[in-house]
Structure formats: structure tokens, C-alpha cells
Structure 1
Amino acid sequence: MSMFSKVGKSADLSQQMADKVGVDVSGIIDQDPVAAGKVFRSITLRCSKCDQQTDCLDLLSNNERLDAPPDYCLNKQVLGTMKDK
């Protein structure tokens, strides 16, 4: 898989995970688009380093909502913090 494909897939997975755990992505972007862009870039790049993306895709595909990201998620802490805002 090319680097751009992996980053694109990671961006999609990150967005889906944020949505499933209840992070208000639009609200965060509206508050500070520049800072939000930096945060979401970091989340995407962290996700691209994960070796469990297939498990993540299966989890996201089989659940309408999630209380929290799975323990293996490299973004678990940051998404938890964003959810609480």
C-alpha cells in the first residue's frame, strides 16, 4: 500500500472512530480551525502507524456507537479527551 493510500485510509478510520465515540468534530473545527487541523493531522498520522487497522475497520463496521476507542487504539487518550469537551 502506498504512503498516500495508508494516510487516506487512516484519515477515514480516524474520522469514523471520532464519530462513533461521540467526538463533535465539526464543533472542534468551528472553535479553532488551525488548531483542529493540527490535532486531526496528528491523529491521522498516529493511526497510520497502527498495525491493527483491519480490526479497527471491523469494529467500526459492526457498531453504531462506541463508548470509547478500543485499548489498542493509538488515539484512545486524545479521542477520550476530545469527547469530554
Structure 2
Amino acid sequence: MTDRDRLRRHADLADRMASTLGIDLQEVAIKGAITPDDISDIVLRCADCPNPDDCAGFLARNAQSKCTPEYCRNQELFGRLVP
């Protein structure tokens, strides 16, 4: 997998995780709760995760959730943004 493909995969996982938690990253950025750089950081933290397959499985099993898996590198930030 190329670096570009890897980043795309993690961007998708991060966005899906946010959506599962009820967070619209674009909307919270427009409202000023996070910056566009924060969104980039979310993807980069996700890309450092050694569990992308576990994350994809979690997302497949949980259409809606109140929390991320314990290993999520964005757990703290997402926790602050959950509506």
C-alpha cells in the first residue's frame, strides 16, 4: 500500500469513526471547534494506529456509538466533540 493509499484509508476510518460518534468534522470545523489543521492531525494520528483492521471491524459492528475503541488515537479529541 502506498503512503497515499494509507492516508486515504485512515482519512476514511477517521471520518467514519467521527460519524459513528455523531460528529460531522466539516461542520465542527466551520463552527470553529476545530481547525483544518486539527482534521489533518486526526488523520495523521489515525495513520499511526497499529489496529486499522480492528477499527474497520469496530465500525462495521457499531453503526452508532458513544465512544471510540480504547486504542483509538483520537479518543480524547473525539470525546470532546461528541454532541
TM-score by length of 2: 0.89
SS in 2 for 1:57: helix
Task: State the partner residue of 1:21.
Answer: 21
Q: Is 1:31 equivalent to 2:41 in the alignment?
A: no
Query: How many residues align structurally?
Result: 83
Q: Quote the Cα distance in structure 1 between the aligned partners of 2:4 and 2:20.
A: 24
Q: Could you list the per-position Cα deviations for residues 2-44 of structure 1 after superposition, in whole angstroms to 9, with x for gaps in the alignment? A: 1111110000000000000111323212224xx5211110000
Q: One-letter code of the match for 2:24? A: D
Task: State the partner residue of 2:10.
Answer: 10
Q: Quote the Cα distance in structure 2 between the aligned partners of 1:37 and 1:46.
A: 14
Q: Percent identity?
A: 27
- What are structure 2's unaligned runs of at least 5 residues? none
Task: State the partner residue of 1:40.
Answer: 39
Moved more, 35-44 or 69-78: 35-44
Greater helix fraction, Structure 1 or Structure 2:
1
Q: Quote the Cα distance in structure 2 between the aligned partners of 1:20 and 1:37.
A: 20
Q: Is 1:54 equivalent to 2:63 in the alignment?
A: no
Q: One-letter code of the match for 2:74? A: N
